[in-house]
Amino acid sequence: MTHKVLLLPGDGIGPEIAAQAARLLKACQEAGLDIEVEEALVGGSAYDVHGEPLPAETLEKAKAASAILLGAVGGPKWDKIEDLSKRPEKGLLGLRKNLGLFGNLRPAMLYPQLASASSLKPELVAGLDIMIVRELTGGIYFGQPRGIEVRNGERVGFNTYIYSESEIERIGRVAFEMAQKRGKKLCSVDKANVLEVTILWREVMERLAPEYPDVELSHMYVDNAAMQLVRAPKQFDVVVTGNMFGDILSDAAAMLTGSIGMLPSASLNESGQGMYEPCHGSAPDIAGQNVANPLAMMLSVAMMLRYSLNEQAMAERIEAAVGSVLDDGLRTADIASEGMQTIGTDAMGDAVLAA
Amino acid sequence: MTHKVLLLPGDGIGPEIAAQAARLLKACQEAGLDIEVEEALVGGSAYDVHGEPLPAETLEKAKAASAILLGAVGGPKWDKIEDLSKRPEKGLLGLRKNLGLFGNLRPAMLYPQLASASSLKPELVAGLDIMIVRELTGGIYFGQPRGIEVRNGERVGFNTYIYSESEIERIGRVAFEMAQKRGKKLCSVDKANVLEVTILWREVMERLAPEYPDVELSHMYVDNAAMQLVRAPKQFDVVVTGNMFGDILSDAAAMLTGSIGMLPSASLNESGQGMYEPCHGSAPDIAGQNVANPLAMMLSVAMMLRYSLNEQAMAERIEAAVGSVLDDGLRTADIASEGMQTIGTDAMGDAVLAA
Ligand SMILES: CC(C)[C@H](C(=O)O)[C@@H](O)C(=O)O
Ligand SMILES: CC(C)[C@H](C(=O)O)[C@@H](O)C(=O)O
């Protein structure tokens, strides 16, 4: 059966790195992978053409695809759009919500070749390998009621942080299963000393724990988790948390590696359909200059092969190719260091394909 | 006029470090400071005696005081209390809310003597001096409605993230004024690409900016702020944000220094009344062992002298004493390092008093 892959380049450096992913997909096809690749617009670039960050056509294609590869969305060009529902970010949030991509896997792992890129002392991050499991279609991102309105003679802004038991259970199971495949340690992050919604979160995690007796479950308050990530990140194996805390902690964790340009992510729904994207953003400041690091995007292809297309071997080949390119001393500007050769986006794509 | 100072030792290491603060207050009295010191119970220790984390008597004393010094609250002993309103944390939250202590000042500064304690590379944190201004009586900590209830046949947990224009303006002014007295840079942290409440937040900050033409205002999304704190913390001077984001970011920032046992904080209301407490928690694991670091608590006394009692000179004397103790190579266990002398809580108190 031919798998449909939808490529959504998006904004900023998105198109440049997506171009490298497209070349990689072609190479996979040549190596026997049975896929059909389509492209569509999302984010600011979709807004510019259709007046919508998520045009109906893009959403239809996304629904029909086995997997989606997304570059990045957003940029200052669209920051002034008054109507929040038209902003580039809503293209991304709309895809997540409409496809039910509730399970966001954000690995923060340090490539040994890039150990010196971390802002932390080498001994604290050597071998770092954390998997953050973030709930992606609920919580305060989507909670109702929300808005800005006049109350008692002045404007108030409000959002609702809400989770149901079934939403918590669903992401909890993803995290427990992930921990079973990894180091068997799961840390659930909440603010149960203040927020009722996270009291329920903690309770559901506790209820699930006996079903995964091989996994050691712990709980941590989000403020402490932010501290512990800075202090001793290697204490973590799998971390599970809600949408907002996951946004903050996964970015902090990614930055611990010093090479966010290397990190892919996956967002999965209940039927295994997935969207894959780099952890980094659209970096509008360096867009169009052929300097962006395409590796997170190319590793997103590997992640897609692993989680949505069940092509482990090919995923490993890509990951190995990236490793060998780093071994060869090739670096894009974001991960440049003394004695290494700094190359552009295209050249990095070439190197990975060659490897 | 005699100032009333209320000392609330609290739980865990609270009583030990509060004892050192009490000695310091006595020394200040001997040096001519006109204060009257009272003590009261709060948190778990109040719950154990009165069944309430914030007994009416404590609240009355707090209202009557010019300034409050708090050790820390909470511990595993009280984690199983089902009723959230009886947990130790509610003692702290109740004090903040009842006294209107909306303006939380959390400095994250690196003592040059302790540079090696940071988990970050020395060149990234040398001279670090960030002031986080956190809104403390609003946002999702106090928003209504909140709770856990059955909807559509299953339980849901929910909280409300809400700010009014006047609440935002009030904390905004504290932050702008703080920036004027410091490096004249203010970074407001929000999630305005997703949350309406923070769209209003950003708008109010923008509206205030022209009144402080000497301050350079910037905005950053909270996920990016968490990353930037790890990547290049010295880019920040003053940071202003809401209650929840402030909780997370101030702890991460404090941990960048590697010596959270050194950091005091202030929480002020509109009439300048303040509560002063260490940034660290109650550390129940080391309570009662005479190993806790009393310096954050003693520096909280200095902060109190500065912000609530207007005694700059005496505040500076305390800060200088702490500096000279560090210069002398004295360290508690949390900041111990090779070649330095590790001492206990009492001995550290002695050393500061002697200096
Ligand atoms: C662009 C933004 C809406 C998004 C989020 O907050 O989820 C991004 O920060 C991410 O983490 O994927
Ligand atoms: C103890 C807890 C309620 C409190 C908070 O979240 O505000 C603490 O973490 C703090 O930052 O002072």
**Shortest CA distance to B230 belongs to which of A252, A336, A281, A126?**
A252
Question: Does pLDDT of A80 surpass 90?
Answer: no
The angle that helices A88-98 and A56-64 make with each other, rounded to 10 degrees, is: 40
Give the rounded percent of residues in chain B with a pLDDT score beyond 70. 100
Estimate to the nearest angstrom the gap between the alpha carbon of B126 and the chain centroid.
Answer: 22
Pair A62, A99: CB distance under 8 Å:
yes
Domains of chain A: 1-102+269-355 (3.40.718.10), 103-262 (3.40.718.10)
Set of chain A residues whose Cβ sits within 8 Å of the Cβ of B74: 193
* 170-199 of A, contacting B, C-beta below 8 A: 191, 193-199
Alpha-carbon span B331 to B339, nearest angstrom? 10
Output the CA–CA distances (angstroms, integers) from residue B334 to B249, B267, B327, B345, in the order listed.
Answer: 21, 25, 16, 11
Radius of gyration of chain B (CA): 20
Mean per-residue pLDDT, A25-30: 96
Reported as type and span, the H/E element at residue A9 is strand A3-10
Say yes or no: A102 contacts chain B, CB-CB below 8 A.
Answer: no
The pair of structure tokens assigned to B8 is 């609330």
Mean per-residue pLDDT, A221-230: 97
Choosing from A251, A328, A346, A350, which is the catalytic residue? A251
User: Quick one: CA dihedral B160, A43, A26, A323, positive or negative?
Assistant: negative
Residue B1's pLDDT is 80
Choosing from B61, B111, B163, B191, which is the catalytic residue? B191
Residue B83's pLDDT is 86
Residue B134 among known ligand-binding residues: yes
Ligand 2 atom at minimal distance to the Cα of residue B247: 11
The pair of structure tokens assigned to B352 is 């500061």
Residue A48's pLDDT is 97
Choosing from A190, A237, A247, A334, which is the catalytic residue? A247
Alpha-carbon span A243 to B189, nearest angstrom? 18
Residue A347's pLDDT is 97
Cα(A224) to centroid of ligand 2, in Å? 10
Respond yes or no: is residue A237 known to be catalytic.
no
Respond yes or no: is residue B181 known to be catalytic.
no
Q: Specify which residues B131 forms β-bridges with.
A: B107, B238
Mean per-residue pLDDT, A106-114: 94
Residue B29's pLDDT is 96
Q: How confident is the model at residue B340 (pLDDT cuts 50, 70, 90)?
A: very high
Question: Does pLDDT of A154 surpass 90?
Answer: yes
Residue B289 among known ligand-binding residues: yes
- With a CB cutoff of 8 Å and minimum separation 6, the contacts of A223 are A191, B247, B248, B250, B251
Say yes or no: B158 contacts chain A, CB-CB below 8 A.
Answer: yes
Q: What's the mean pLDDT when you consider all of chain A?
A: 96
Respond yes or no: is residue B141 known to be catalytic.
yes
Mean per-residue pLDDT, A153-157: 98
Say yes or no: A146 contacts chain B, CB-CB below 8 A.
Answer: yes
Which residue type sits at A64? A
Question: Does pLDDT of A292 surpass 90?
Answer: yes
Q: How confident is the model at residue B162 (pLDDT cuts 50, 70, 90)?
A: very high
**Shortest CA distance to B78 belongs to which of B104, B106, B45, B107?**
B45
Say yes or no: B126 contacts chain A, CB-CB below 8 A.
Answer: no
Residue B259's pLDDT is 87
Cα(B194) to centroid of ligand 1, in Å? 8
Q: What is the pLDDT of residues B189-212, one digit of tens each?
A: 999 999 999 999 999 999 999 999
Q: What is the pLDDT of residues B292-334, one digit of tens each?
A: 999 999 999 999 999 999 999 999 999 999 999 999 999 999 9
Size of interface A-B (CB pairs under 8 A): 182
Question: Does pLDDT of B79 surpass 90?
Answer: no
Question: Does pLDDT of A84 surpass 90?
Answer: no
Residue B142's pLDDT is 97
Rounded to the nearest 10 degrees, how much is the dihedral formed by the CA atoms of B262, B268, B274, B275? -50
The residue count of chain B comes to 355
Question: Does pLDDT of A259 surpass 90?
Answer: no
pTM of the model: 0.96
CB contact under 8 A, A157 and B194: no
Say yes or no: B124 contacts chain A, CB-CB below 8 A.
Answer: yes
Mean per-residue pLDDT, A58-82: 94
Give B152 to chain A, closest Cα distance, Å. 10
Q: What is the pLDDT of residues B229-287, one digit of tens each?
A: 999 999 999 999 999 999 999 999 999 998 899 999 999 999 989 999 999 999 999 99
Question: Does pLDDT of A83 surpass 90?
Answer: no
Q: What's the mean pLDDT when you consider all of chain B?
A: 96
Residue A255's pLDDT is 94
Choosing from A34, A79, A223, A327, which is the catalytic residue? A223
Residue A304's pLDDT is 97
Pair B69, B6: CB distance under 8 Å:
yes
Contact B136 CB / ligand 2 (< 6 Å): no
CB contact under 8 A, A223 and B248: yes
Cα(A247) to centroid of ligand 1, in Å? 7
Question: Does pLDDT of B6 surpass 90?
Answer: yes
Ligand found nearest the CA of B92:
2
Q: How confident is the model at residue A1 (pLDDT cuts 50, 70, 90)?
A: confident
CA angle A51, A65, A75 (to 5 degrees): 35
Interface residue of A158, A169, A222, A228 to substitute, partner B, most B CBs within 10 Å = A158
Question: Does pLDDT of A288 surpass 90?
Answer: yes
Location of structure tokens 């070749």: A113
CB contact under 8 A, A230 and B230: yes
CB contact under 8 A, B156 and A148: no
